[in-house]
A and B are shown apart, each in its own frame.
Chain A
């Protein structure tokens, strides 16, 4: 427990008239899960921890790498040198920043087998993930258990964020359908700069603080899209859920059902794992080759693409199937797929 006086510690937030003492008391009782602790997740988690959210569950499958340090503000060079699991490094940093709250670290891959266990007992879920497989899963748990969640994503200098409340706003499936999810830009292929991530994280957290402090009337109910390089901001009003939505209308939970996951893995001999989308997709190999060429060696023909960079080798087929060479860890294989192919 902390030796600081509660009212003094949170005085600037309590003095903010839209939160006040009552709002702060509610924030201190709240439980929030953060899925993914990259740049978005660490930025959001840091703000929530300092704001005094009583309980944070930090979920991430990866370890800290040197390329994270440019924008993932909770990590140190020592974390990268030691390859500390992100959830642990983030928990340690946040525990040092606020000992008056509880921070739990979960070093695991969020999937259909554990998603409800890890997310159903919190008040809000923050999306800090880097892929849509996880986001569709979070969306299903959110709808099934009536938990609001904050979507955010950023690449290059642009990003998008929305706070989605089951029954009140559209859900992710209302907005995007089940759409194609494989083969798009990722932070690893097109890069990302810190300011856009911090902005999207701040928008997420602002909406979450309104909700947690009991000020739902102040929620924007809008999707924010911004580009910090071209200095463009758009706000799109969301309206209500789609009545015939397969997820929040008919309550069909495709990702959760029968342990189904968007990316299945199988072992193919030593140090090679096959990763494939649940359904075949039409992946443009020339477009993928163009994205990956600056990052390593690319060889491509009509049927397949081979990509090699430091410590990573991928063979990708046009139906979305990929062979990940150089690892025996399914979580790492899925991570590399999300990083370089995008999903």
Chain B
């Protein structure tokens, strides 16, 4: 399936969840917030939210350094 992730078109395997997406980009355990089609998704729902063709997703990493 094709989605728009952080402004770029990307191809991902069908049936991926948001949790899989976070893992896919090696950000598991990192402080990450995800906006899906204009809505910020509750972190606890990452596992259950299955990504759909055409989704517009923004994945933001909250970085630690200062």
Contacts and interface: CB of A to CB of B under 8 A. Distances in A.
A126 B16 CA distance: 37
Contacts of B31: 132, 176, 179-181, 184
Interface string A140-153: 00000000000111
A152 B39 contact: no
B63 A185 contact: yes
Nearest to A134: B66
B13 interface: no
A105 interface: no
Q: Chain A interface mostly helix, strand, loop or mixed?
A: mixed
A85 interface: no
Interface string B7-41: 10000000000000000000001111101001110
Contacts of B58: 234, 236
A245 to B, nearest CB: 9
Nearest to B34: A236
Given A223-B33, A223-B60, A234-B7, A153 B38 contact: no
Bin chain B's interface residue count. 20 to 34
Contact of A153 (B7, B29, B32, B62): B62
A185 B64 contact: yes
Interface string A167-201: 00010001111011101111100001000010000
Nearest to B40: A239
B62 A237 contact: no
Contact of B64 (A155, A177, A179): A155
Contact of A160 (B6, B29, B42, B61): B61
A170 B40 contact: yes
B20 to A, nearest CB: 17
Interface stretch (A36-44, A302-310, A326-334): A36-44
B3 to A, nearest CB: 15
Contacts of B63: 153-155, 158-160, 184-185
A123 interface: no
Interface in A284-343: 338, 342-343
A46 B12 CA distance: 45
A255 interface: no
B60 A160 contact: yes
Contacts of A232: 6-7
Contacts of B42: 177, 242
Contact of A175 (B6, B30, B40, B65): B40
B43 A176 contact: yes
Interface of A: 36, 38-41, 127-132, 151-155, 158-160, 170, 174-177, 179-181, 183-187, 192, 197, 223, 225, 232, 234, 236-239, 242, 282, 338, 342-343
Given A175-B33, A183-B29, A197-B66, 20 more contacts: A127-B66, A130-B64, A130-B65, A153-B64, A153-B65, A155-B65, A158-B61, A160-B62, A160-B63, A175-B40, A176-B43, A180-B30, A180-B31, A184-B31, A185-B64, A186-B65, A234-B6, A239-B40, A282-B29, A338-B64
Listed from nearest, the 4 A-B pairs whose CB atoms lie closest are A177-B43, A153-B63, A187-B65, A155-B65
